[in-house]
Structure 1
Amino acid sequence: MKKNYDVIVVGGGTSGMMAAIAAAQNGAQVLMIEKNKRFGKKLLMTGGGRCNVTNNREVDDLIRHIPGNGKFLYSTFSQFNNYDIMAFFAEQGVALKEEDHGRMFPVTNKSLTIVNALVERMQALNVTFAMNTSVTKVIHEKQQVTGVETEFESFYAPCVILTTGGRTYPSTGSTGDGYRLAKRVGHHITPLYATESPLLSKEAFIQAKTLQGISLQDILLTVVDEKNKEVTAHKMDLLFTHFGISGPAALRCSSFVNQLLEKQEKVTVLLDCFPEMGEAALLAKISETLNHSKKSVKNALHAFLPERLLTFYLDQLHLTDLPSQQILENQKEALVAIFKAFPIQIDQTLPIEKSFVTGGGIDLKEINPKTMESKILSGLFFAGELIDVNGYTGGFNITAAFCTGHSAGSHAAEIASYFSMS
């Protein structure tokens, strides 16, 4: 295998493969170094193995769904965005389909379709592969990159792109290598935390598995701080589990929960099962239902909520067996309160290794947003989950990875071309 290249990409995941493709399309001789024996190990797992490749919405809306420093990506998205991702796969002959909330999947419903398309494009562009190879050091002279050392040998290039992923799912190779490599050349890493992670609770009803397995559609989950002030709120689906709560609403709250847990011991989330209805309207509906019933409160309100959840709420208020005609006004108001804002204490999220996305990463103040090049070391670029950007599930993190990878690859090829001319 030859030693000298224009661009070396370290890490063959989402951002790395796109970086290699973009660099090669711009005329660079590219070496892709991957520590696993196959590419896209984490990408194969995404979207439940179906691969949610991007999201079909306007760029401003896209950025709103990337709460972890999404504004940093304005420059990236002005060069290559979610519509360009769709066009790229169309050019590779991969048909995509749109599902709920704008999520885009391959028609085949197989992540392998996406990974194969990326690998085939790299092969067509004559990207050189070094598989089962770990990079141990970025080589540089003064403030200019000159290559990388691996555990076997060294390779040389004026531009190196680090796309080694975060710290989630270490079995896929995301073991924090990129952070170590970046720190060794002077970069700072902002604190890492789990995002898009299920929420863990020690509440008695969670420990007793009272509600385990109940799923709720289109509820509102709100995170509040110690002063009961709203931090974030998400209207999506929710699932009660044996350890706490999961599902899209819980996952979207997790990064905010983790950031609050840095400052306080527990965090409260409020569950609103009727987000489309105000308290007065819900009170009127409950009153009307109970006033026209000769059954118990539980049987009269059976259509309001899943049976086990309704029973649980009524038990909390000691109303389960009460005849509908005997319920007092303040008891109805208590029902509205529990239906609209049931508090759940959250102690932590799943650890970063078992979460979907890593929050934190290489400090964005040290990265040029237009090119993804290091401001500390010329010729060093970053992309993907390694940088301090994170979004919600729904194709937003993959979009950020593809687009930052494309930007890094394009600009690295351009800079490398000056070296080959000199």
Structure 2
Amino acid sequence: MDKNFEVIVIGAGPAGMMAAIAAASNGAKVALIDKNKRLGKKLLMTGGGRCNVTNNRPVEDLIQHIPGNGRFLYSTFSQWDNQDIIRFFEDRGVALKEEDHGRMFPTTDKSKTIVEGLKNEMDQLGVTVIYQTAVEKIIHDGTKITGVRTETGDYSAKSVVLATGGLTYPSTGATGDGYRLAKSLGHHVTPLYPTESPILLDEDFIQKKELQGLSLRDVQLSVVNEKKKVVASHVMDLLFTHFGLSGPAALRCSSFVNQLLKQQDRVTLVLDCFPDLTKAEVLEQLTQQVTASTKQMKNALTGFLPERLLQHFLTKLEISDIAANQLPKAKLEALNDYCKHWELSAKGTFGLEKSFVTGGGIELKEVSPKTLESKKITGLFFAGELLDINGYTGGFNITSAFCTGYVAGTHAAYQSFA
């Protein structure tokens, strides 16, 4: 096999495949190297196997949904954005459809449709894919890249795109190789932590599995710091589990929980079951329902909240069997507090191996926002989750991966001809 290339891309996830395509589209001779025996192993798992390929929101909205340094992507998105992703696939016969909250999926509802679309394009462009090969070292002369060393020998190239992903889903081969390679070239890696991860609670009701399996629609979950300031808040669905909280609201709050846990032992979460109503409005509704009924509280408030959650609150307040019209005002106000401001104590989240996204990564001050090239060594480019950028679930991380991949691959090709 010829081992001389102009651009080498390390990692065959969405960022790596798109980087290889962009570099080859710009005339470069490209090799894509991956440890796995097939392309896009993690990509095949995304979106429940359906692949939420991007999100159709305006760019400003995209950036707001990438709380981990999303502003860094302004330059990337000015060159290639979510609309370009949509056009890329549709121009190649991969039809997409839009679902709730702007999420875009292939009409086949199969992730492999996306992977095959990327593979077909690489085949068309003559990208050499080298499977089941680990990169041991990036070769350089002190100022610029000259190639890579693998377990099967050296390959030469003027540009290398590192796109090895984060540390989530180790079953896909994620072992942090990209961080190690970047560090070996003098780059700093900010502390890594899980994001988009279920939240762990050890409250009594969790231990007793009282609310396990209970799903709440459109509630507000907030993360509060030790100064009682809300640092994150999301109105979405929430799921109680045997370990704590999951569902979209919990996943979106998880990165903020982990960041606070760097300085404190516990993090306060606040659940508002009626985010569209003020506390006074909820109290008024409770009062009306209670004063008009002679039933026991557990029956008088049927339908006000999901049954198990209502019973949990009533039991905590020891008012389940009290006649509704005899309920003391203080107890009614306490129930209102639970409805609008139920405080929970988070002890952590799942680890990186069970989380969706890695927070932290390559220090962005050391990367050019325009080209995604290293500021430390010529010819080294970064793309995807390896960078210190993380977004919410819903197509935002994969959008970042595809777009940074395209931009890094494009500029890697330009650099290889310089």
> 2:294 & 2:47 partners in 1: Cα distance?
48
The residue number in structure 2 matching 1:3 is 3
The residue number in structure 1 matching 2:267 is 267
- Residue by residue over 1:251-286, the C-alpha shift from the partner in whole angstroms, topping out at 9 and shown as x without a partner, is 000110000000000001011110001011111111
- Residue by residue over 1:42-79, the C-alpha shift from the partner in whole angstroms, topping out at 9 and shown as x without a partner, is 01111111110111111011000000000000000000
* TM-score, with structure 1 as normaliser: 0.98
Mapping of residues 19-418 of structure 1, within 5 Å: 19-418=19-418
CA shift, 1:297, in A, is 1.2
Describe the SS at the equivalent of 2:373.
coil
- Residue by residue over 1:346-378, the C-alpha shift from the partner in whole angstroms, topping out at 9 and shown as x without a partner, is 001000111000000000000000000000010
The one-letter code of the counterpart of 2:214 is I
Describe the SS at the equivalent of 2:152.
coil
The one-letter code of the counterpart of 1:357 is V
The one-letter code of the counterpart of 2:140 is H
> 2:245 & 2:405 partners in 1: Cα distance?
33
Describe the SS at the equivalent of 2:193.
strand
- Residue by residue over 1:184-224, the C-alpha shift from the partner in whole angstroms, topping out at 9 and shown as x without a partner, is 01000000000000000111111111100000010000000
Describe the SS at the equivalent of 2:345.
strand
The one-letter code of the counterpart of 2:194 is A
> 1:181 & 1:18 partners in 2: Cα distance?
21
Describe the SS at the equivalent of 1:392.
coil
> 2:159 & 2:203 partners in 1: Cα distance?
52
> 1:118 & 1:300 partners in 2: Cα distance?
58
* TM-score, with structure 2 as normaliser: 0.99
> 1:217 & 1:88 partners in 2: Cα distance?
35
CA shift, 1:296, in A, is 1.2
CA shift, 1:404, in A, is 0.3
> 2:101 & 2:337 partners in 1: Cα distance?
29
The one-letter code of the counterpart of 2:398 is I
> 2:299 & 2:215 partners in 1: Cα distance?
21
- Residue by residue over 1:310-368, the C-alpha shift from the partner in whole angstroms, topping out at 9 and shown as x without a partner, is 10011111111111110122211111100111111100100011100000000000000
Q: Percent identity?
A: 62
- Residue by residue over 1:217-261, the C-alpha shift from the partner in whole angstroms, topping out at 9 and shown as x without a partner, is 100000001121111100000000000000000000011000000
CA shift, 1:32, in A, is 0.5
> 2:272 & 2:216 partners in 1: Cα distance?
10
> 1:245 & 1:110 partners in 2: Cα distance?
28
The one-letter code of the counterpart of 1:58 is P
> 2:180 & 2:359 partners in 1: Cα distance?
16
Which deviates more, 81-90 or 326-335? 326-335
> 1:267 & 1:125 partners in 2: Cα distance?
50
Structure 1 runs (4+) deviating above 2 angstroms are: none
CA shift, 1:294, in A, is 2.0
> 1:84 & 1:374 partners in 2: Cα distance?
25
- Residue by residue over 1:141-160, the C-alpha shift from the partner in whole angstroms, topping out at 9 and shown as x without a partner, is 12100000001110000000
Which deviates more, 331-340 or 256-265? 331-340
> 1:185 & 1:235 partners in 2: Cα distance?
43
CA shift, 1:388, in A, is 0.2
RMSD over aligned CA atoms reads: 0.7
> 1:292 & 1:106 partners in 2: Cα distance?
53
> 1:13 & 1:398 partners in 2: Cα distance?
10
> 2:39 & 2:187 partners in 1: Cα distance?
27
> 1:288 & 1:40 partners in 2: Cα distance?
57
The one-letter code of the counterpart of 1:100 is D
Describe the SS at the equivalent of 1:347.
strand
The one-letter code of the counterpart of 1:130 is I
The residue number in structure 1 matching 2:18 is 18
Structure 1 residue runs of 5 or longer lacking an equivalent are none
The one-letter code of the counterpart of 1:19 is A
| Count of paired positions | 418
> 2:315 & 2:97 partners in 1: Cα distance?
45
Structure 2 residue runs of 5 or longer lacking an equivalent are none
